[in-house]
């Protein structure tokens, strides 16, 4: 207790904080019916805090930090039959046609990563020299967002109908990759994300001094982004074409599955998380 008392007027703090989300973190609907998704996130960072006001049991601190954060999206599209007008670039003989697909289903796991910069004020009320509660308010800035497809699976069957040749149907595998095919992460298009996204940050928690300058903290936090994570067109899709179909083909690129994040109306982060911190005060 004497050691804690001697450090009761510490002006600075270094905090190592780990966060884990509770429930879904991306709140959105899809522009295509029946797509479902679940999302989660985690974060690890270090923060530096300094006291800017102190009166009896009340302390106000400013905090800034840096961390690594990742979000995982699991999305699923059920089996669907669709077709679209394929351009000449989708035919070995440069002939336009109608391309038909029977998609058995599509499952994807997508991860985004970012550098997170929290900037917030922290109000603490000290019940004693070893225990306090706090509330925080501020912002978190996400820089250098990147994305990748961790896993993608599904199967599709395709064939072509050529109206200019009396609706000739061709399903030979050697022609335009018709027939049965498997979908994997190698032939799935990489999601496109916005590289900078600011977010509103708030939370409440408690801190317990455990020994000398060391304390542990626990908090419940909410983070709401001020922009979309994924770049999507945010418009209704009434029919598929060669730019928005779940699976498409060109001679140059082969068969490609569309990333399901591109079917978001919006992809705002709305994250509730619990955070645990190891704190060094001096």
Read off φ and ψ for residue 74, nearest 5 degrees.
-110, 115
Mean pLDDT of all residues in 19-36: 89
Distance of CA 105 to CAs 29, 130, 152, 161, 264, Å?
19, 56, 11, 23, 18
Residue scoring higher pLDDT (144 or 25): 25
**Would the pLDDT of 138 be above 50?**
yes
Mean pLDDT of all residues in 42-70: 96
Confidence band, pLDDT 50/70/90 cuts, at residue 8: low
Confidence band, pLDDT 50/70/90 cuts, at residue 28: confident
216-251 per-position pLDDT tens digit: 999 999 999 999 999 886 677 888 999 999 999 999
Distance of CA 34 to CAs 156, 167, 243, 260, 267, Å?
18, 31, 20, 12, 17
Q: Which two tokens stand for residue 278?
A: 């190891």
- How many Cβ atoms are within 10 Å of 253's Cβ, its own excluded? 12
> What is the 8-class DSSP label of residue 245?
S
Task: Give residue 238's pLDDT.
Answer: 83
**Would the pLDDT of 9 be above 90?**
no
């Amino acid at each position: 207790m004497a050691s804690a008392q001697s450090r009761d007027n510490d002006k600075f703090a270094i905090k190592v904080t780990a966060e884990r989300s509770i429930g879904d973190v991306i709140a959105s609907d899809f522009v295509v019916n029946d797509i479902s998704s679940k999302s989660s996130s985690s974060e690890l960072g270090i923060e530096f805090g300094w006291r800017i006001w102190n009166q009896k049991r009340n302390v106000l601190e400013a905090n800034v930090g840096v961390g690594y954060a990742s979000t995982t999206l699991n999305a699923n599209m059920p089996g669907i039959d669709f077709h679209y007008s394929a351009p000449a670039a989708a035919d070995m003989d440069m002939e336009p046609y109608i391309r038909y697909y029977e998609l058995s289903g599509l499952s994807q796991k997508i991860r985004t990563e970012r550098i997170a910069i929290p900037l917030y004020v922290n109000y603490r009320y000290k019940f004693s020299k070893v225990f306090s509660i706090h509330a925080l308010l501020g912002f978190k800035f996400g820089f250098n967002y990147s994305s990748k497809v961790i896993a993608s699976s599904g199967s599709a069957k395709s064939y072509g109908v050529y109206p200019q040749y009396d609706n000739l149907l061709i399903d030979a595998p050697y022609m335009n990759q018709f027939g049965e095919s498997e979908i994997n992460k190698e032939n799935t298009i990489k999601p496109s994300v916005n590289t900078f996204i600011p977010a509103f940050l708030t939370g409440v928690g408690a801190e317990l001094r455990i020994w000398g300058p060391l304390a542990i903290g626990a908090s419940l936090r909410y983070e709401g982004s001020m922009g979309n994570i994924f770049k999507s067109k945010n418009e209704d899709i009434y029919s598929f074409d060669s730019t928005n179909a779940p699976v498409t083909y060109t001679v140059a690129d082969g068969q490609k599955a569309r990333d399901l994040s591109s079917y978001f109306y919006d992809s705002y982060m709305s994250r509730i998380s619990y955070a645990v911190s190891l704190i060094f005060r001096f």
